[in-house]
Structure 1
Amino acid sequence: MKAYFVLFVFVCISCSGSQKIVSPTPKSRALDALVEKAKFEVTSDQASPLLTSSMAAISNSGLLGNGNSAGNINLIGNPNYLKVEGDTISADLPYYGERQMGGGYNSNAGIKFKAVPQNYSLTKNETNQQYQINFQISGEGAENFTISLVLFPNWKSSLQINSSQRTPIRYSGEVQALKEK
């Protein structure tokens, strides 16, 4: 009976999840310097809108173009950015999805803002060397955004945007140093 107990404990210990610790690399240290200076830009190459029946209908009609689907749209060649310059954050991103309310004539179809964010938080996960940036910001008109940005040590990014007037959307892209003017 004691042998079964020892075997059970051994199996439990060996099956327990272990976190793989990622050692800092020159590339991740360079990202640390960018984030510390608060001078970087995220350019997205892929948008992943919330898959709704309306987005599926647009995809089925062929309006999204070759290689795109209702849940995955290629942004390569489509200018877009999210810039962090000190305490100001600005963005100009294309939007694919459903607008729930608001908008109107002559309103911007994309996601645009330039302001000082509220409830800004920046945390670094030392285990996997990635940054999590969360904030809320006001856009053009009465639209408000809740943003979650993850910066990975290989300079890739994941940007989640929740809006007060639109369905959520996620962008995947790359981080780069802000070009000096």
Structure 2
Amino acid sequence: MGSAPITGGRDTAAAEGDVVVFLIGVRINRWRAVRHWLPVVAAMPRMLKELSRDGESGLLSLRALGGGPRVHGFVQYWESREKLLSYASAQGREHHPAWSAFNRRARSAKGAVGIWHETYIVPAGSYESVYVDMPTAGLGAAWGVEPIGRHEDRAAQRLAGGAA
């Protein structure tokens, strides 16, 4: 996002319907246990590459989360809960063997590496966004942006669909 072009003016995300937000990350708990944490850290780029190449996967957008040298994470926006869950359980995709390997490794790793994820299904009308002189980001990167209309100037108005 650092070198992305700035869109002028005030925009909001053009999302419609429910929004699926998935947060995922890994935490290196013991630096010296490289053989336990390196495969976990290395699995994420493979999964993200696979998802970005597959336009039907349902992954709309992602962004790295800061967290220091121990923590690596991403916020992801998905087309639907069904597509997220389908990817997570698909036998022939990168996630399934990575998850199985993590679970096997976790038994012997004794806390050397941790993973976390959170899934949010945000109902239509329960999210809002504003981007002022910003490169496209977040929900706007996932769904595109549109100019804020005069009846959507405030966050309360956007949350109420312009009715506030």
Q: TM-score if structure 1 supplies the norm length?
A: 0.28
More helix by share: 2
More strand by share: 1
Q: TM-score if structure 2 supplies the norm length?
A: 0.30
